[in-house]
Amino acid sequence: MENSSSSTALTLSRPPLPPTSGNASLNKEVVPSSDTERKSSENEQQRVTRGREIDPNMDPKKLRRVLASRQYSQKYRMKQLHYIMHLETEVKALQAEVAIAAPRIKYVDRQNNLLRVENGRMKQKLTSFSGELMFKEAQYDELKKERDVLKQVYMANYELMMPPGHFKPTNPSGNYQFININPDHQSGVSP
């Protein structure tokens, strides 16, 4: 990156002008001593652009076109240099953003991997719990069937033990109170 900024700095400074035919003294900086010399040197500098001298006897329209063209070219070069500098600042800003974002991305990736591992463990637990649940449901169904069989056996034994015409308990909720079938027990009398 340093290379491109130094190349921009190099392009901003003009290289020394090559000597033209008979005007080698134009490349040297001249310090004018009076106002008239200063004005004449400014006029001369306006006429000389990049080592090319403008013919003072040139047609005024053509002179205006040449000067406008040179001015446009100069503006275009400056615009290019400003655009390049703008792009370089954008590149530096983006590089700084990347330098900040890279550790964040690594951290998020690490967190993502940890969450994936945890997710895998949770899936394993879920699979084992669902297997246990199926086993418990099957066990519950078996116990329920066994309860129904025992209830039927109890009811059959109860009917055999009770005298005919005695009250038969029918509780639809399944909550039965066992009756003391001891012959010494008197119903309705507390001991």
pLDDT (0 to 100) of residue 1: 45
- CA-to-CA distance for 102 and 109, rounded, in angstroms? 11
Given a cut of 90, whether residue 25 has pLDDT beyond it is no
Predicted confidence (pLDDT) per residue in 138-162, tens digit: 999 999 999 999 999 988 887 787 7
Q: Indicate the helix (H) or strand (E) that contains 49.
A: strand 48-49
Task: Sort 76 into a burial class: Cβ within 10 Å, 0-12 / 13-18 / 19+.
Answer: exposed
pLDDT (0 to 100) of residue 36: 61
Cβ-Cβ contacts under 8 Å for 169 (sequence gap 6 or more): 158, 176, 177, 179
Task: Output the average pLDDT for the chain.
Answer: 75
pLDDT (0 to 100) of residue 12: 43
Given a cut of 70, whether residue 177 has pLDDT beyond it is no
Over residues 69-92, mean pLDDT:
96
Given a cut of 70, whether residue 87 has pLDDT beyond it is yes
pLDDT (0 to 100) of residue 159: 78
Q: Report residue 62's pLDDT band, with 50, 70 and 90 as the boundaries.
A: confident
Over residues 103-119, mean pLDDT:
96
One-letter amino acid identity for 101? A
Q: Report residue 135's pLDDT band, with 50, 70 and 90 as the boundaries.
A: very high
